[in-house]
Amino acid sequence: MADLGDAKAALHHYLLESREDLIWKLDGLSERDARMPRTATGTNLLGIIKHCLNVEAGYFGSTFGREFPTPEELVPMEAFDEDPQADWYASEDETKDGLIDLYRRVGVFADQTIDQLPLDAPGQVPWWQPGRQDVTLQRIIVHVTCDIARHAGHADIIREQHDSAVGLRRDSTNIPVGYDWPAYVAKLTKLADRFA
């Protein structure tokens, strides 16, 4: 358990939790189900993973003068000129297990940046607007954690819509056991209908 009294350890802890919470949402899914678009804009669970691993590789890499050891596995910046959604779906030659493995390796790379630098270490985000590119490691940890947590929330809803699998974490769902969900939904629907 991290020393949550230490600012850097606490920030890192929440990033690690958000990363793991996102990855476990793909547990038990087939290749097809992981890739299947679930929203009108094509959001899919495997695409969320691919997006987040590229986010972490960039923010904890080039922002601090580091390069991921196998950059050819990442979506290059020029790919977005052709397809602005290039990091939001798995290509035909990518697999669920392969992208999860890549995310875990990106996580190790990101964690090394965090371990090696102090919170006030300066960085520069090359894809941000000039005049706003200068950052610190602390700001990037917070920025990335918020981004990953947001996408983990998307994954929660997508997974629940797919097969009703819900929960905060693998080891602690934070969901009442044996709850009458149909009755609960009916109650909420009745309340909402009063405002029709």
Q: Are 49 and 26 in contact (CB under 8 A)?
A: yes
- Determine the Cα–Cα distance for residues 196 and 194; give it in Å rounded to an integer: 6
Count of CB atoms situated within 10 Å of the CB of 127: 11
Low-confidence ranges of the chain (pLDDT < 70): 1-2, 167-172
What secondary structure letter does DSSP report for 71?
G
Q: Give the pLDDT confidence score for residue 168 in this predicted structure.
A: 65
Q: Are 14 and 59 in contact (CB under 8 A)?
A: no
Contacts of 139 (CB under 8 A, 6+ apart): none
Q: Give the pLDDT confidence score for residue 181 in this predicted structure.
A: 86
Give the residue extent of every domain in the chain.
7-193
Largest CA distance in the chain: 58
pTM of the model: 0.90
What digits encode the pLDDT tens for the residues 77-117?
999 999 999 999 999 999 999 999 999 999 999 999 999 99
Q: Give the pLDDT confidence score for residue 60 in this predicted structure.
A: 98
What digits encode the pLDDT tens for the residues 43-56?
999 999 999 999 99
Q: Are 29 and 96 in contact (CB under 8 A)?
A: yes
Q: Give the pLDDT confidence score for residue 22 in this predicted structure.
A: 93
Q: Give the pLDDT confidence score for residue 54 in this predicted structure.
A: 97
- CATH code, residues 7-193: 1.20.120.450
